[in-house]
Structure 1
Amino acid sequence: MAPVPTPSALVELLRDRPTAVLTGAGLSTDSGIPDYRGDGSKPRRSPMTFQRFVASEDARRRYWAGSSMGWLRFARSRPNDGHVALADLERAGVVTGIATQNVDGLHRRAGSQRVLELHGSLDTVSCLDCGTRFPRAEVDVRLREVNPWLPTDPDLVPLNPDGDAEFAEIDRFVVPPCPVCGGILKPDVVFFGEFVRPETTTAAEALVDEADALLVAGSSLVVNTGVRLVHRAKRRGIPVGIVNRGPTETDALADVRIEDGTSEVLRALADALAARTDNAVG
Structure 2
Amino acid sequence: MLVSEVMLQQTPVVRVLPVWEEWLRRWPGPADLAREPAGEAVRSWGRLGYPRRALRLHAAAVAIGASHGGNVPDTYPELLELPGVGSYTAAAVAAFAFGRRETVVDTNIRRVHARLLSGSALPAQALTAAEMRLAAKMLPSDTGASVRWNASVMELGALVCTARSPKCGKCPVRSSCAWLAAGEPPPTYTPRGQSWHGTDRQVRGAVMAVLRVAEAPVAPELFQRAPADLGFEPLGISIPLAALHRLDPAPEQLERALAGLLSDGLAELHPGGFRLPA
Max Rg structure: 2
TM-score scaled to structure 1, two decimals? 0.25
Greater relative contact order: 1 or 2 (C-alpha under 8 angstroms, separation 6 or more)? 1
TM-score scaled to structure 2, two decimals? 0.25
Which has more helix, going by share of residues? Answer: 2
Which has more strand, going by share of residues? Answer: 1
